[in-house]
Amino acid sequence: MVAPGSDGAARNGDPRAVAAGGGDSWVPVAGCGRRGGGGGAGRGRRLEAVAVAGRDHSAQVVARVRARRWGGPAKVVRRRVRVVRRGRRRAGGGGEGVGAEGGGGALGLVGLFNGRMVRVGLVGAGPWARRVHGPGLVAHPRVEFVGVWARRPEGAVGLGRVFGDFGELLSEVDAVAFAVPPGVQGGLAERAVRRGKHVFLEKPVASDVPGAERLAGVVGDSGVVSLVNLVRRFAPETIEWLGDLHRLGGWAGGNARWLSGALLGGDYSGSAWRQEGGALADVGPHVFDLLDAALGTVVEVRGAHFVEPDLWNVVLGHDTGATSTATLSMRLPMRPTITEVSVYGEHGYREVVGRATDPSDSFAIAMDRFVELIERNQPGHDLDVRRGLHLARIVDAVWKAG
C-alpha cells in the first residue's frame, strides 16, 4: 500500500459550494417553463434550468446545458441564452430577466476588479487552447482577453494579440490561464505568481510531486488566486450527482472507468506528454478527483496494476473507510469515450455517466469562479493548487504501486 501523502487540501462538503465558491443559492431561471406543445404529447417536461444567484455567465451555460440535455428544441436554448443575457445587462435590477423569481435581484455582475474587468492572458496555443481556453476567454463577460504567449509564436496566430515574450505578457495582465504541458506549466506558473499574477491551471499542475509542491508553496506565500481546471467538477450534472451523494451519505465504495482511444489518433494523439504519461497522467487526475469528492479523501493506494499498452487498474482507500476502483486507458480502440463513475452503499447505487456538458461550458463556469475569487480577493478554494498537489500525490502513489 502506498499513501499519497497529505497536503491539508480542503475536503468538499456541499459540492455546490465547491463549484460555485460557497454561499450561493440555486434558483430557477426565469422563463424556463414547459416546452411548447406541437410535436409530442406528454413531452412537456419542465426544463430544469438552474442558475447560481449572482452568477450571470454560469446561468447562461447551465440553462443551455439543461435544455440540450433534455432534448429541448433549438429555440428553447436560444431563449434561455437571451433571458440570461438580459439579466446580465440589468445588473442590480429586478423584474424581467434572470433572478426575478429568486428573490435576490437580477443575476448581474458581482463587482469589478479595481473598477474594471479582469485582464487575462493565455499561455499555450495547442488544440486545447484553441478549442476551449481561447474562445472561452474571449466570450467571457467579465474578462478582458489581453492576448497569448506560446513557445512557438507562429502557432498562436489567430488566437489574438501574440506576445513575443512571456514577461511582456505578465506586465499587462492580472491573471494567466495556462494550456501547456505540465512540465512547462509548473515553472511558468511560478514566475507568474512571483509577479503577483493569479493563475488558472491545467492538470496536472506540474510534471512531478516536487514541482507541484513548489508551485503550491509559492502560491500560498503570495496570496494570489489559483484554480485548477478540473472540467468535470464544474459540470452541472456532476454538481447535482455529488450533491445527492453528500445529502444521503452512507456510501461504502465506488467504481470509475475512463476508456478511450484518444492516444491512437485525433487532436491530442500528437501530445508528447500525454503519449509518455498515458491515461494515468492525463485522465487520472479527473477520475481520482471525482472518487475523492464522492467518497472522501483518498489516503492510500491499496493496489495498482498496469498492462501494456496503456491500461491501469487501481484500488484506492478513502478516509471514510470506503474503497474504490478505477480503470483507465487512452489506447483502446473505442469511440465514443466511456466515462462512468458510480458509488454504492446504504442508499443503493448512484452513477454519473458520460459527459453531457461540453468542456467549453465547464470552462465558462470555472472561469466565473476564478474571476469571482479575484474580485473578492479570496485566494482559498477547494479546487485551488492544493487540490492539484493532492492529485499529483495520488498519481505518483499509483505509479509507484504499479
pLDDT of residue 268: 86
pLDDT of residue 116: 80
**Secondary structure class of 37 (helix, strand, coil):** coil
In angstroms, the Cα distances linking 226 to 66, 189, 283, 336 are 28, 10, 20, 32
* Residues whose CB falls within 8 Å of the CB of residue 333, separated by 6 or more in sequence, listed in order: 261, 264
pLDDT tens, residue by residue, 228-243: 999 999 999 999 999 9
Angle, CA of 310, 315 and 319, to the nearest 5°: 140
pLDDT of residue 61: 59
CB-based burial, 315-352: b 16+ in 10 Å, e otherwise: bbbbeeebbbbbbbbbbbeeeeeebebbbebeeeebeb
Rounded to two decimals, what is the model's pTM? 0.77
Q: Which residues of the chain have pLDDT under 50?
A: 6-56, 66, 68-111
Between CA 300 and CA 99 the distance in angstroms is 44
Residue 380 has phi, psi (to 5 degrees) of -85, 135
Q: Residue 79: enclosing H or E segment and its boundaries?
A: helix 74-89
Give all domains of the chain, ordered by start, each with its CATH number.
15-89 (no CATH), 118-231+362-383 (3.40.50.720), 236-356 (3.30.360.10)
Of the candidates 367, 380, 376, the one whose C-alpha atom is nearest the C-alpha of residue 143 is 367
Between CA 271 and CA 11 the distance in angstroms is 32
pLDDT of residue 60: 59
pLDDT of residue 59: 58
Cell of 234: 464544474
Of the candidates 313, 257, 292, 275, the one whose C-alpha atom is nearest the C-alpha of residue 394 is 292
Q: Supply the DSSP symbol for 153.
A: G
CB-based burial, 354-385: b 16+ in 10 Å, e otherwise: ebbbbbebbbbbbbbbbbbbbbeeebebbbbb
pLDDT tens, residue by residue, 176-207: 999 999 999 999 999 999 999 999 999 999 99
* Residues whose CB falls within 8 Å of the CB of residue 115, separated by 6 or more in sequence, listed in order: none
Between CA 51 and CA 98 the distance in angstroms is 9
pLDDT of residue 335: 86
